[in-house]
Amino acid sequence: MRIPENGLSGEQVFERLRDLRRKDAETRGGRAWGLVYDSGLEEAREVAERAYVEFLGLNALDPTAFPSVLRLENEVVAMAIAHLGGGAGVVGNFTSGGTESCFLAVKTARDHARATRPEVARPEVILPITAHPAFHKACHYLGLTAVPTAVDPETFKADAGAVARAVSPSTIMIVGSAVSYAHGVLDPIAEMAAVARERGLWLHVDGCIGGFLLPYYRRLGRAVGDFDFTVEGVSSMSMDLHKYAYAPKGASVVLYRSKALRKYQLYACASWPGYPILNTTVQSTKPGGPIAAAWATLNFIGDEGYLRLARLTLEATERLIAGISGIPRLRVLGRTDTSLIAFASEDVNVFYIADEMKRRGWLIPPQPSFGPSPASLHLIVTASSLPQVDAFLADLRTCVEAAAGRGLRIDPALRDTLAALDPSSLTDEMLSRVVGAAGVEWDALEDSMADVNSILDSLPPQVREALLIAGGNELFTPAK
Partner 1 sequence: MLYLNLILIGISIGGVYALLGLGLVLIYRSSGVLNFAQTSMAMISTYVFWEVSRRAPFLTVWGALGAAVLFGAALGAGLYRTIFARLRNSPPLARLIASVGVAFILPALARVIWSGQSERGVRLPAPFGTKVLRLGFAAIQSEQLALAVVSVVVGIGLHQWMRRSVAGMALRAVAQNRQAAQMLGVPEAKISAIAWGIGGGLAALAGALYLPLQYLDPNQMATMLPAAFAAALLGGLVNIPMALAGGLALGAMESVFRGMHGVFPRLAPTIAALGIVAFLLARIDRFFVSPAELKAIEGEGAGR
> Mask 133-172, x = binds partner 1 (CB under 8 A)?
------------xxxxxxx-------x--x---x-xxx--
Between CA 71 and CA 452 the distance in angstroms is 47
Q: Is 129 in the site for partner 1 (CB under 8 A)?
A: yes
> Mask 398-417, x = binds partner 1 (CB under 8 A)?
---------------x--xx
Q: Minimum distance from CB of 418 to partner 1 (Å)? A: 10
Nearest to 241 by CA among 42, 96, 75: 96
Q: Minimum distance from CB of 168 to partner 1 (Å)? A: 4
Q: Minimum distance from CB of 54 to partner 1 (Å)? A: 45
Using alpha carbons, list the distances in angstroms from residue 274 to 62, 63, 250, 281, 344: 14, 17, 28, 20, 56
Amino acid letter for position 352: Y
Cβ nearer to partner 1, comparing 139 with 408: 139
Q: Minimum distance from CB of 347 to partner 1 (Å)? A: 24
Q: Is 102 in the site for partner 1 (CB under 8 A)?
A: no
Q: Minimum distance from CB of 170 to partner 1 (Å)? A: 5
Q: What's the DSSP call for residue 273?
A: S
Cβ nearer to partner 1, comparing 170 with 458: 170
- The half-sphere exposure of 400 on its side-chain side, counting CA atoms within 13 A, is 21
CB atoms within 10 A of CB 282: 16
Q: Minimum distance from CB of 441 to partner 1 (Å)? A: 22
Q: Minimum distance from CB of 466 to partner 1 (Å)? A: 12
What residues contact 37, with CB distance under 8 A and at least 6 apart? 242, 243, 244, 246, 380, 382
Site residues for partner 1, 56-95, by CB under 8 A, read: none
Using alpha carbons, list the distances in angstroms from residue 342 to 36, 347, 461: 17, 16, 19
Q: Is 425 in the site for partner 1 (CB under 8 A)?
A: yes
> Mask 340-379, x = binds partner 1 (CB under 8 A)?
------------------------------xxx-------
Cβ nearer to partner 1, comparing 367 with 388: 367
Q: Minimum distance from CB of 377 to partner 1 (Å)? A: 20
At 449, give phi and psi (nearest 5°).
Answer: -105, -5
Cβ nearer to partner 1, comparing 63 with 148: 148
Site residues for partner 1, 265-294, by CB under 8 A, read: none
Q: Minimum distance from CB of 140 to partner 1 (Å)? A: 10
Q: Using omega within 30 degrees of 0 as the cis cutoff, is the peptide bond preceding 282 cis?
A: no
Beta strand pairing call for 330-332 and 366-367: unpaired
> Mask 201-230, x = binds partner 1 (CB under 8 A)?
------------------------------
Nearest to 161 by CA among 184, 196, 192, 117: 192
From 47, 278, 307, 430, residue interacting with partner 1 (rule: CB under 8 A): 430
286-308 residues labelled b (16+ CB within 10 A) or e (exposed) = bbbbbbbbbbbbbebbeeebbee
From 262-270, 321-329, 337-345, 456-464, give the range in contact with partner 1 by CB under 8 A.
456-464
The helix (H) or strand (E) run that includes residue 336 is: none
Helices (H), 117-271: 133-142, 160-166, 189-199, 214-219, 259-262
Between CA 265 and CA 263 the distance in angstroms is 5
Contacting residues toward partner 1, per CB under 8 A: 120-122, 124, 128-129, 145-151, 159, 162, 166, 168-170, 370-372, 413, 416-417, 420, 422-425, 427, 430, 460-462
